[in-house]
Amino acid sequence: MNENRFASGFLVPPGVWLLLLFVVPLVLVLALSFGYTDDLGEAIYSTRLDNYERLVDPDYLPVLFRSVGFALAAVVLCLLIGYPVAYYIAIFGGRWKNVLIALVVLPFFVNYLIRTYAWIAMLGDDGLVNGLFDSSIRFLNTPYAVIGGLVYGFMAFMILPIYASLDRMDPALIEAGKDLYGGPWQTFLHVTLPHTMQGVLAGSLLVFLPAVGDFVSASLLGGPEEVMVGNLIQQQFQASDNWPFGAALTVAMMAFLMIFMLFYLRAAARETREATA
């Protein structure tokens, strides 16, 4: 009994942590979404449905689709760039592995906002890149700049889990694939990729979730059309003094993101089954 008690004692810190930092805020956001603001701009808890009624408006759909589209584009680009990087480090990194991974992580010590401002300095009309190539390409205030900002902002979230899954993989498997007359591409498709699918899925989710709710990239690098859900939420909390509507937007977005989360959980469960089968 004592042992049991001792063991379950370990559950208390994470339990409290989850409760305080996850459950309570979530309940508060949910409660707030039924509220309203008084004439002083203060949010008041209530039981009104106004905020959700306002949400049921087809005008919001393009913003939602745009957010998901940008986030998916960011996932695909992160995958196309991040997988080869992770592969190179894991397979050919040798004794430099840890240094290379540290280099991948290093830029993330700098705040995302500041890194995004650096993009403005680099890609502006009179910026570094245009100056270097004596060109006058308009990079900023375009959807491409927003997607680029998301890719750059969340790249490490893709590289690290893929690297971890590649690092775990037994290199003998690749040898075996080659021994069985598989070409490099076939070996990759039939051996390496399936073995690292969990990393790919985890990386995709880790990039997708923050990207779809991001507002920094769209607000600093986007044009008038590049409005994402995050921008609408930020507006409600930081400018319009309408926290309850911001909370309703947040709840709606979380509900929507659960769909992707469930998709991930199912796919991940399948991967685990196949891996252990």
Partner 1 sequence: MNGNPNRRELLQGGAGLALGLGLAGCGVGNIDRGSLAETEKPIRKRVDGDLVYFNYSEYIDPDLVKKFEKRYGVRVRESYFDSMSAMMAKLRAGIAYDVIFPSAEYVQRLRSGFLLRRIDRDKIRNIDTVYSYFDDPWYDPGAEHGTPYGLYATGLGYRADKVTGMTGSWRDLGEADSGDRSFLLDDHQEAIGMANLVNGYPLNETDRDKLEESKDYLVDLKPKLRGVSADTITNMASGNAWIQHLWNGDIVNIRYQVDNPEDYRFQKCREGLPVGNDNFCIPVNAKHPGTALLFIEFMLEPEHAAQNVEWIGYPMPYEGAATEAFQGLVKDDPEINVTIEDLENGQQFENLKGDGRLAWDEVWTEFRVA
Give the closest residue to 233 by CA, choosing from 64, 9, 111.
64
Binding flag, residue 243, partner 1 (CB under 8 A): yes
> Which of 65, 92, 111, 125: binder of partner 1 (CB under 8 A)?
125
Region binding partner 1 by CB under 8 A among candidate stretches 87-95, 96-104, 176-184, 219-227: 219-227
> Which of 104, 108, 112, 124: binder of partner 1 (CB under 8 A)?
124
Give the helix/strand (H/E) hosting 182: none
- Complex with partner 1: residue 47 or 276, whichever CB lies closer: 47
Least Å distance, CB 107 to partner 1, is: 21
Region binding partner 1 by CB under 8 A among candidate stretches 80-88, 120-128, 193-201, 207-215: 120-128
Tell me if residue 36 falls in helix, strand or coil. Answer: strand
Binding flag, residue 24, partner 1 (CB under 8 A): yes
Q: Give the count of beta carbons closer than 10 Å to the beta carbon of residue 70.
A: 24
CB 117 within 8 A of CB 220: yes
> Which of 39, 133, 172, 255: binder of partner 1 (CB under 8 A)?
39
Tell me if residue 15 falls in helix, strand or coil. Answer: helix
Give the helix/strand (H/E) hosting 268: helix 243-276
User: Which H, E and C letters describe 148-166, residue by residue?
Assistant: HHHHHHHHHHHHHHHHHHH
DSSP 112: H
Locate 17 and state its tokens.
């942590």
Locate 173 and state its tokens.
């498997």
Binding flag, residue 182, partner 1 (CB under 8 A): no
Binding flag, residue 127, partner 1 (CB under 8 A): yes
Binding flag, residue 121, partner 1 (CB under 8 A): yes
The pairing of beta strand 36-37 with beta strand 43-44: antiparallel
Least Å distance, CB 208 to partner 1, is: 22
Q: Which residues bind partner 1 (CB under 8 A)?
A: 1, 5, 8-9, 11-12, 15-16, 19, 23-24, 27-28, 30-32, 34, 37-47, 54, 59-60, 62-63, 117, 120-121, 124-127, 140-141, 219-220, 222-225, 227, 231-232, 235-243, 245
